[in-house]
Amino acid sequence: MSWQQFLFGKLSLSVIPTDPIALGGIIFMLSCGAITLGLITYFRLWGWLWREWFTSLDPKKIGIMYLGVSGVMLIRGLADTALMRAQQALSVGADQGILSANHFQQVFSAHGSIMIFFVAMGFMFALINIVLPLIIGARDVAFPFLNALSFWLFAAGAALVNLSLMLGDFSAAGWLAYPPLSELQYSPSVGVDYWIWSLQIAGLGSLLSGINFFTTVATMRAKGMTLMKMPMFAWTVLGAMTLVAFAFPILTVTLALLSLDRTLGMHSFTAEAGGNMMMYVNLIWAWGHPEVYILILPAFGVFSEIVPVFSGKKLAGYTSMVYSIWAIVVLSFIVWLHHFFTMGAGAAVNAFFGIMTMVIAIPTGVKIFNWLFTMYRGRIRFTTPMLWFMGFVVLFTMGGVAGVVLAQPPADYQLHNSLFLVAHFHSMIVSGVLFGYFAGLTYWFPKMFGFLLDERWGRHAFWCWLGGFILAFGPLYILGLMGATRRLDHYDPSMGWQGLFIVAGVGAALVLVGFLCQIIQLAVSIRDREKNRIGNDPWDGRTLEWSTTSPAPLYNFARIPEVSGRDAFWMSKAHSLPGRQAGAEASRAKQVYEHITVPKNTSAALIIAAFALLFGFGIVWHIWWLAIFGIIAAVVGVIVRGFNDDTEMILSASEVVLIERGGTWRKFI
């Protein structure tokens, strides 16, 4: 081994990509980064960022940081969308389109991995961080430090994905990297290693979050809030975190085994020497199917909070909602085989998993009907969150029916890996998960920042997303039935597909316009923020998060609320009629205050995650000294932090009074 190999592993200057599109991406990303850093330096915001954000253990701030990272990753994921739609609309016959086959494969692999792990998961943990402690009347999460560590590990994973854009390449083996394609023999570059370690590091963060939020719901609810009095969002988080705790260790094992195959020449999934590649497919879906329910359950929770508020009624069928959540949790672990009916497990096995898959549509249907019954005879306010909900109901139900079609093994033999499947799961993930989180972000935005988002631009965004989605994925259902398979970088004009692909491209462009509207919406709302500050309870909410100030103080509640029924805040407002708002204010004014213990800021989470990033980077490039240093430093960091007793501080009663009487605790902007 030469010293160069020792120092840099497989890394050298030649790994920087040179084709124009990749180079354009790098230059765009670097200049965005440079501009951001420059602005932060120019406005002297580093100290503020470090003190108020990077070292903060406040879940509300950590949630907002999740939003930031996921927002950036959403831009990357959407850029990939644009490239794919352009390629498939153009690459017909003699025309080879804009991407090489290999680059196209990297683009769709990156699109899937980024959208699931760094956008959907990020938005989910953002919302949970911001809303969960408030909605159950808690001052914090169960393990504040662990929560920060989860976030920084997530950020480290995202950083590793972005590094792959500049140094080397990304996986070209699809978002789930099936072997033997993902084995060293067929993917010799570092792409798959980037995929493995970015997911492994971010996945560890998700697992810790799962434990954290489950414990939070289980042990930290406000006094009187028995399980059946919990807001539905807390129930869905409990369900989703149960799934995280049971599913993510399987992902950890699967990724670790694949990595051992690639780095130490083991044979867990190889095509020779006794490896079993179908075991990988089973393992990855034993995680992967629960994963989609991990994403959708909190979105269901968001809708279950929004629909009652904007219908002016309590949620219909509370008990059936709870049971349907747990039916979904259990069933989601016995449907994974429907992702590969064509593996040939036999008629009996396929029939069992086909039937289970159809059965899981029932609890989901129960929820849809409950939301509709909640709206029935309600006094509905058509705000943007409600629009996202109604878009969701229509598209999600249609996508779900397509899913029941796919659940039948004979039909699946025809539709497997076709664009019909692609259209189906985008119906679930975009119109289910993403619309749900958009609705939640609009609804809880005033909780985060104290002012409303602009409704007009929100409506523009919604209609562009809705129309764009239908235009982009309607054609894919048809193309799938016409026999177009997924991941095509080129096809023959005689197939007659190009027209529909062009329509899909127009749809994607409309979606991008929708996203642009959201950026404008954010900018306009910040510009008009003083006009949009309309108190602590802008929507006439029903749950506890609206009973404190918006934004909420560090400790959420000066006095932990006592709960005697569902929709606790609604009840307290109803008791103090007519001046509902005034009643809440008055009770806050005559409160007796006590001292509150809050966690101290710490940079340990950021530092440990930075070492984890070094470890991941070292392993990807076979820079062994860096990997060993990274892992040892991370473990030492955990020990040092673990035995630090000085992690809390006490806000005295008089300080609490100052904060409470001072009105809004802090304005971010």
Partner 1 sequence: MRENTQLMVIAEDYSEDRTTLFGFWLYLMTDVVLFASLFAVYAVLRSNTADGPAGAEIFSMPLVATETLLLLSSSFTCGLALLAAQAGNRAKVLFSLGATFILGACFVAIEAIEFAKLVADGFGPSRSGFLSSYFTLVGTHGLHVSLGLLWMLVLMAVIFFRDLSRPIMRKLLLMSLFWHFLDIVWIFIFTVVYLLAL
Q: Which residues bind partner 1 (CB under 8 A)?
A: 142-143, 207, 210-212, 214-215, 218-220, 245-246, 248-250, 252-254, 256-257, 260-261, 264-268, 270, 272-276, 279, 283, 597, 635, 639, 642-643, 645
Kindly state the DSSP code that residue 308 receives in the 8-state scheme: H
The three-state secondary structure class of 669 is coil
Q: How far apart are CA 230 and CA 552, in angstroms?
A: 20
CB of 302 to partner 1, least distance (A): 24
Q: Which is nearer to partner 1, 271 or 401 (CB)?
A: 271
Q: Which is nearer to partner 1, 15 or 253 (CB)?
A: 253
CB of 593 to partner 1, least distance (A): 15
CB of 14 to partner 1, least distance (A): 29
CB of 20 to partner 1, least distance (A): 41
Q: Which is nearer to partner 1, 39 or 639 (CB)?
A: 639
* Dihedral angle, C-alpha 510, 511, 512, 514, nearest 10 °: 90
CB of 260 to partner 1, least distance (A): 6
- Kindly give, in sequence order, each residue whose CB lies less than 8 Å from that of residue 314, ignoring residues fewer than 6 positions away: 308, 374, 542, 566, 567, 570
Q: Which is nearer to partner 1, 61 or 139 (CB)?
A: 139
Q: Which is nearer to partner 1, 256 or 394 (CB)?
A: 256
Q: How far apart are CA 325 and CA 638, in angstroms?
A: 35
- Long-range CB contacts (within 8 A, 24+) of 489-498: 489/87, 489/88, 489/91, 489/97, 489/99, 489/101, 489/104, 489/105, 490/91, 490/92, 490/96, 490/97, 490/101, 491/91, 491/92, 492/92, 492/93, 493/92, 493/93, 497/92, 498/89, 498/92
CB of 364 to partner 1, least distance (A): 25
Q: Which is nearer to partner 1, 252 or 397 (CB)?
A: 252
Q: How far apart are CA 239 and CA 479, in angstroms?
A: 36
CB of 123 to partner 1, least distance (A): 23
Q: Which residue has the tokens 């009347």?
A: 137
Q: Which is nearer to partner 1, 189 or 263 (CB)?
A: 263
Q: How far apart are CA 522 and CA 118, in angstroms?
A: 21
CB of 543 to partner 1, least distance (A): 23
CB of 226 to partner 1, least distance (A): 17
Q: How far apart are CA 551 and CA 470, in angstroms?
A: 36
How many helices and strands (H and E) does the chain possess? 24, 2
Q: Which is nearer to partner 1, 461 or 563 (CB)?
A: 563
Q: Is 90 exposed, middle or buried (0-12, 13-18, 19+ CB in 10 A)?
A: middle
Kindly state the DSSP code that residue 418 receives in the 8-state scheme: B
CB of 591 to partner 1, least distance (A): 18
For the chain, state the CA radius of gyration.
Answer: 25
Q: Which is nearer to partner 1, 37 or 628 (CB)?
A: 628
Q: Which is nearer to partner 1, 171 or 270 (CB)?
A: 270
* Dihedral angle, C-alpha 361, 364, 366, 369, nearest 10 °: -110
Q: Which is nearer to partner 1, 96 or 282 (CB)?
A: 282
CB of 266 to partner 1, least distance (A): 4
Report yes or no: 571 and 565 within 8 Å, Cβ to Cβ: yes
CB of 55 to partner 1, least distance (A): 22
Q: Which residue has the tokens 């406000």?
A: 222
Q: Which is nearer to partner 1, 146 or 428 (CB)?
A: 146
Report yes or no: 11 and 621 within 8 Å, Cβ to Cβ: yes
CB of 441 to partner 1, least distance (A): 28
Q: How far apart are CA 141 and CA 219, in angstroms?
A: 10
CB of 468 to partner 1, least distance (A): 39
What is the residue-wise DSSP string for 572-637? Answer: HHHHT-SSHHHHHHHHHHTPPP--EEEEPP-SHHHHHHHHHHHHHHHHHTT-HHHHHHHHHHHHHH
Q: Which is nearer to partner 1, 513 or 633 (CB)?
A: 633
Q: Which residue has the tokens 């993917």?
A: 187
Q: Which is nearer to partner 1, 90 or 638 (CB)?
A: 638
Q: How far apart are CA 665 and CA 126, in angstroms?
A: 21
Other Cβ atoms closer than 10 A to 201: 23
Pairing of strands 596-599, 648-651: antiparallel
Q: How far apart are CA 120 and CA 103, in angstroms?
A: 24
